[in-house]
Amino acid sequence: MGDRMNIITTLVCLAALANVLLFGSLAYLFLVENIQSDLILIVPLVILALGVAPLALVYRYKYLLNSRTQQADQAEAKSLHLRALFDNAPVEMYLKDLEGRYLHINAQFEKLFDVKNENIIGMLPDQIHYPDLSESVRAHDLEVINSGKVVIRETEAETALGFRHLQTIKFPISGPDGRMASIGAVVTDVTPMREMTELLKKTNRQINAILENAPVGIFLKDKEGHFTLTNPTICQFIGATKDEILGRKIEDLYNGEQLQKFQSTDRQVYSTKMPISYESRTIAPERVLDVKIYKFPIFDELGEIVGIGGIEVDITDHKHIQRELLIAKEQADQANRSKSDFLANMSHEIRTPLNAILGFSEILSTEVFGPIGSERYKIYARDIFQSGSHLLDLISDILDLSKIEAGRLDLAEDVLDLKEAVDGSLNVVSNFASEKAVKLAVSTTIKAVVSADRRAVHQVLINLLSNAVKFTPSNGEVVVSVKDKADGTLTIMVHDTGIGIPDKDLESVFEVFTQLKSANTSDHSGSGIGLAIVKQLCDAMGWSIDLRSELGKGTLVSLTLPASSVIKSNSET
């Protein structure tokens, strides 16, 4: 600022001196030389001009000086802004001279390679980088210098942040004379992008592997109905190559009823925005296919349908097996019905001779018509009676089950005193219980009256009581009880202190011809259909049956009669 004032003061002094000299010269000419008086008008003008000119020069200089000062300030501010932008940029940046020496690096570059700007100014790349990276960096510099253009390279480098993929953009920087003076560089860590790209490539390879090798047909269609994706299996189903399918519509490939089915299901997906499935028969090259088709909508990020995807599964073999199984089932059902009809028809023919055998063997064993001689004959006759009785029980169970399966079970709506039914059933199994030393008891007073088939109720109770006695050891107990429920139903319970049933076998005890085998049951004979008959008779009468058991402690069987079958509850007086 002092230099500027000195220059201005000098100019003002020179202007004043010039005015004094000029004024003195004019006065001399006027007074001494006696010049003409009209010069008097010119003199002030000359003096004024000579006075104003220096002032104008001074003002012009000051104006130029202020303009240059402002420009310098603006340039300095711009430089500071650029330096701040350079230093704080979120990517790595640096400047180098043409020899490859670092002139300036920013904060991100310092973090990436764990260096400081003040420490590497004037250093070459091989002084701070590994040899492979430094050679690559110099080669990149030379390519920019030789071409005078922007050059982009991607390299792999060991950095302070680990092994990274770096993309470097280098560009020439010109000096005041227009010639290249330095090199600028912008470095971007593209490691996440590379990892994502590799992941996408891997995913695409996996998806393509699925598409190419999937044993099901896969396709995609855009909103206009053009195929945009197909796999080899769908090409086989359609009978065309991928090039012949892509970009075409379904009406270009099918016609008739098949085309109508495809179009209607497409419309259904668009209207409901829900997936659907259906079966279709398609004519492929050299064979007819049964296909299960699954179609589903494809949505964009706004939830709008932009196309349809589909999966087609060849179910030809499955349908063939299904048809064969259906035929086999029909044949088996027919054979089973024939068997049941035969056994139901044979009921009388089988029971009649057995009853005769039992009757005559009993007469012989009791010597109704007098002594038969040797005691052995009586023993043999008793054995015949016991074996025949056992055989009759087995045959009766089988015949009863066959009659139920054949649909020949006619149930009556008898008014049944439940106490009479229980007492009668207990009487039937009393001898068996006495032989095994098993106590039979009724734990509640029975007053209920129900509507049910008398014979079916007796058979259910006898089978349950016989089964309970059979699996209860000596000195055990079988107890019958009746209980009303709040909903109007009635429950008959048969509880024993027998060997119990394992949890895993509880579901199978009601199956036909199932007889549990264990160390505790090996000495119990039977057909294995007693409980199956109980279950089917209960189902036929609308009763429910529940079985609970614990090994070594016994079994509880509960029969629940619906409220509609209860004429008089057990609690009524």
Ranges assigned E (strand) in 388-538 = 414-417, 439-442, 449-452, 477-484, 490-496
In terms of C-beta density within 10 A (0-12 exposed, 13-18 middle, 19 or more buried), how is residue 141 classed? buried
Judge contact between 498 and 487, C-beta under 8 A: no
DSSP notation for 30-55: HHTS---TTHHHHHHHHHHHHHHHHH
Q: How confident is the model at residue 254 (pLDDT cuts 50, 70, 90)?
A: confident
pLDDT averaged over the chain? 81
Q: How many CB atoms lie within 10 A of CB 300?
A: 9
Give the dihedral of Cα atoms 28, 32, 37, 43; nearest 10 deg. 0
Please state the pTM of the whole predicted model. Answer: 0.43
The predicted-structure confidence for 42-69, as pLDDT tens digits, reads as follows 555 555 555 555 556 556 666 666 767 6
Residue type, 326: L
Range 333-344 average pLDDT = 71
- Average pLDDT, integer, range 546-558: 90
At residue 340, the pLDDT reads 66
The highest-level CATH class for domain 214-312 is: alpha beta
Report pLDDT digits (tens) over 452-471: 988 889 888 988 998 899 99
Q: Is 531's pLDDT higher than 90?
A: no
- The pLDDT of residue 502 is above 50: yes
Is residue 138 within 8 A of residue 117, CB to CB? The reply is no
Q: What pLDDT score does 127 carry?
A: 87
Q: Which of 345, 298, 289 is nearest to 318 (CA)?
A: 289
H-state helical runs in 437-555: 454-470, 530-541
HSE-CB of 456 using CA atoms within 13 angstroms: 25
Cα(425)–Cα(394) distance, rounded to whole angstroms? 18
How would residue 82 be classed by pLDDT, with cut points 50, 70 and 90? low
Of the candidates 361, 400, 412, the residue with the CA atom closest to the CA atom of residue 384? 361
The CATH number, out of the four listed (3.40.50.2300, 3.40.830.10, 3.30.450.20, 3.90.1300.10), of the domain defined by the range 89-195: 3.30.450.20
Pairing between β-strand 544-550 and β-strand 554-561 as defined by DSSP bridges: antiparallel
Question: Three-state SS for 124?
Answer: coil
Instruction: Answer whether residue 10 shows pLDDT above 80.
Output: no
130 band by pLDDT with thresholds 50, 70 and 90: confident
CATH homologous superfamily of 410-568: Histidine kinase-like ATPase, C-terminal domain (3.30.565.10)
Does residue 516 register a pLDDT over 90? Answer: no
Q: Does 526 have pLDDT greater than 70? A: no
